[in-house]
Amino acid sequence: MNAVTPAGRPGPPTRALVVWCPDWPVTAAEIIDGVPATGPVAVLHANRVVACSAAARADGVHPGLRRREAQSRCPGLTVLDHDPARDARAFEPVVAAIEQVVAGVEVHRPGACAVAARGPARYFGGEEAAAEQIVEHVAQVCEVESQVGVADGFFAAGLAARTGRIVPPGDSRTFLAGLPLRVLGRPDLAGLLRRLGLRTLGDFAALPARDVLARFGPDAALAHRLADGRDEQPFTPRQPPPELSVTADYDEPLDRVDAAAFAARALAEQLHDQLSGHGLACTRVGIEAVTAHGQELHRVWRHDGMLTAAAITDRLRWQLDGWLTGAAARRPGAGDAASPPPPTAGIVRLRLVPDGVLARVALQPGLWGEIGAEDARARRALTRVQGLLGPDAVVTAVLGGGRSPVDQVRLVPWGDERAPSRPGQPPWPGRLPPPAPAVVLPAPLPAEVYDAAGEPVTVSARLVVSAAPARLAVGTGPAVDVTGWAGPWPLDERWWAPAEARRRARFQVALADGSALLIARTDGRWVVEAVYD
């Protein structure tokens, strides 16, 4: 953030204005998860406190404490896991509110952002007036407490924000000199410097820069420049995300499918053209509608490829058809709380929100047109059924983790992401070896297994088979000779919960009639779980 003089030498750091929200991980948990920040709350990462509320600090909890020590000091402490995604998600509205007041905001981390102070100071008539405007606007729009610090350089301004201080130009070095070494955010370096007798940033800045680089390395040399007030971090303001949604209002309510379909085409083409102008493609689109009676309807459509203008039009038309006329086509019992009631009046507002976008280059169609006409017709038919009956009316099977064949398949709504539940992970321990069975029975069939002497075959608690299986009878059918078998593969699941515990020994058997079965010994009986080709 240093300016450059005509001679090419770094000039004084740029005046920076930093907005800091105290205890942001705690505030974010209140915004997203509803955890009251007024009580004793601590956010932990790697079993150590990284942030805590004011009530927790009053009981002696502070960042750096181990979990057990924090709970011993404050028995009523609410402990939360550190979630950077939650912090960033909650901070986005705060950044958007700041951008309504000043331009060129740079997000440093969730809870702290910066802007060059010159523009806001000139617009509002001074740095102090700019700081007051930002704090007041964030409080009114987001109901979030914030503090502003202004100094030469981002590092000094960030520390000044902790106390809401405006450091006069040229005084940042003096301001930093009396601060403790821990504000550098480098615990190992701070501990080493303390052992050498250094206590403040001023003590560290007094060391020769060449000796710091030779003795402690490049990162310490950077910290030395920060301690000396020579903040050379480049300022990269955030580009506000473009507003990509499109909205249309109608004077005459849309209560017929043909009129709604005509309106859908124009709105879908508008959304597609707007996305194309930004070099983006839509993979998920949210459809929102408001009726003349104020009823709000919402549905998200997902697609595993690029949504063209025609594809968006189809989905919008099908959804409107489902809302306007699909109530009569609903399955019995489908009108539960999870499905919105049919509209009681015509639609007066439509809004399309691109819920998932990415660069168009990532979704180019194949050179030879991998998706044929039959596939396209099938997709259109299935998505139309979803428009009438809801997204859960059409499901597709996805392979995932699990130790038994019945556990390795999950059903997801058509158009949702079909990625495996454990992509790139090693196989589950205790999982059956290939090949996979062709048919998994919805309910296991009872069976009996006998040895060569006609005695029932058993399996002990130590997985010892009493005798080699010789004949197998399924249900009330006749016994068939066993020509080959493999196993047992033991399975002992959820042993820590007696009510949910499940213990089995599984076998693969080949029979004389040409069939192959997956059988299991569980609860003292034999069952058939699956059939192989």
CA distances from 380 to 272, 319, 339, 387, 482 (A): 19, 12, 22, 10, 48
- 3-state class (DSSP) for residue 145: coil
Residue 74 half-sphere exposure toward CB, CA atoms < 13 A? 24
Query: Which pLDDT score, from 0 to 100, does residue 54 have?
Result: 92
User: Cβ contacts of residue 210 below 8 Å, gap of 6+?
Assistant: none
Contact 204, 196 (CB under 8 A): no
Pairing of strands 395-399, 48-52: unpaired
Nearest 5°: the CA angle 192, 193, 195 is: 65
Per-residue pLDDT of the chain (533 residues; tens, 9 = 90+): 454 444 444 455 688 999 999 999 999 999 988 888 889 999 998 889 999 999 999 999 998 899 999 999 999 999 999 988 888 888 888 888 898 899 888 888 889 998 989 889 999 999 999 999 999 999 998 899 999 999 998 899 999 999 999 999 989 999 999 999 988 888 889 889 999 999 999 999 999 999 998 888 888 888 999 898 887 666 665 655 667 788 888 888 888 777 877 887 888 888 888 887 777 777 778 888 888 888 888 777 766 556 777 778 877 777 777 777 654 434 344 444 334 456 778 888 888 888 766 655 444 444 444 444 455 567 667 766 766 666 677 777 777 666 677 677 777 776 665 555 544 445 566 677 777 787 888 788 899 999 888 888 888 878 788 888 989 988 888 888 888 888 788 877 777 777 777 788 888 888 888 888 888 888 888 888 888 87
Reported in sequence order, the residue ranges of 192-279 that DSSP labels E, i.e. its strands, are: 246-254
Give me the long-range contacts of 123-129 (CB less than 8 A, separation at least 24): 127/15, 127/17, 127/166, 128/166
Given this model, what pLDDT does residue 427 score?
59
**44 neighbors 79 (Cβ within 8 angstroms):** yes
- Between CA 326 and CA 186 the distance in angstroms is 61
Residue listed under structure tokens 């249900």 = 475
H/E run at residue 91: helix 84-99
Classify residue 524 by burial, with Cβ atoms within 10 Å: 0-12, 13-18, 19+.
exposed
- The contacts of residue 92 (CB under 8 Å, 6+ apart) are none
pLDDT score, position 224: 92
Separation between Cα atoms, residue 107 and residue 489, nearest integer Å: 54
CB crowding 366-376: b at 16 or more within 10 Å, else e:
eeeeeeeeeee
* pLDDT for 206: 93
Q: Which are the contacts of 505, defined by CB distance < 8 A and separation ≥ 6? A: 459, 463, 487, 488, 489, 490, 491, 520, 521, 522
Pick the closest to residue 530 from 517, 521, 520 (CA basis): 517
CA–CA separation, 120 vs 104, rounded Å?
Answer: 10
